Chains A and B, each alone.
Chain A
């Protein structure tokens, strides 16, 4: 069974600085998708960034970028120029391309604190 591990329960970053959140996953499949979701205090689940496993190029969305290491099964999220609004819980998630249930497998989350 696939698993997703986020080993950092909490991280802290100074406003305007850069922070990296870690995520590792375990799978025997070669075709899958990886996601980072942001959950602010409003509880809304917001898709931050997505990576297709067959793409070697790391995904980027404005200040958010990933470091996708397929062989190492690692999928870290880098947030540049951190802003107060980035404070939230961040979840890493995996989805098999072959799973007809479209099930997302989530990590346990990393709470990001942003210091002004």
Chain B
């Protein structure tokens, strides 16, 4: 089954404790991206990757890191989480190119930073 898998689904942590949210896709997609969802703000792009070893900032990259060492994986790293990073996070992927615009989303990771 074609899917984007995020782990964990829920995470509670404390300020300053490094964490990683994993994202993996099984569709051989070149493009992957991270979004955060906050009430009243919708979803906003954090980082994106056009292919292996190619990453770039989205609209709200502060406090986050990403890496793309393999095509299928795109982890989101919070080196020193703060309470303002409490949010619902989504990973997404798609094929590059104009003709196929469908973006596949993971099931989300609800992060609480105390």
- Could you tell me if A45 and B90 are in contact, using CB atoms closer than 8 angstroms? yes
List the count of A-B residue pairs having beta carbons below 8 Å apart: 51
- Could you tell me if A45 and B105 are in contact, using CB atoms closer than 8 angstroms? yes
Q: B42 contacts which of A101, A102, A107 (Cβ < 8 Å)? A: A107
Contact mask for chain B residues 1-42; partner A; CB cutoff 8 A; 1 contact, 0 none? 000000000000000000000000000000101010000111
Q: B43 contacts which of A33, A42, A101, A106 (Cβ < 8 Å)? A: A106
- Could you tell me if A91 and B42 are in contact, using CB atoms closer than 8 angstroms? yes
B interface SS class: strand
Knowing A33-B101, A47-B102, A97-B98 touch, does A106 contact B44 (C-beta < 8 A)?
A: yes
- Could you tell me if A101 and B45 are in contact, using CB atoms closer than 8 angstroms? yes
Q: How many residues of A contact B (CB 8 A)?
A: 21
- Ranked nearest first, the 4 interchain pairs of A and B with the lowest CB-CB distance are A106-B42, A45-B105, A43-B108, A106-B43
Interface CB pairs A-B, < 8 A, 30: A4-B42, A33-B101, A42-B107, A43-B88, A43-B107, A43-B108, A44-B105, A44-B108, A45-B92, A45-B105, A45-B108, A47-B102, A91-B42, A93-B42, A95-B101, A97-B98, A101-B33, A101-B45, A101-B56, A101-B58, A102-B33, A102-B94, A102-B103, A103-B48, A104-B43, A106-B43, A106-B44, A108-B40, A108-B42, A109-B42
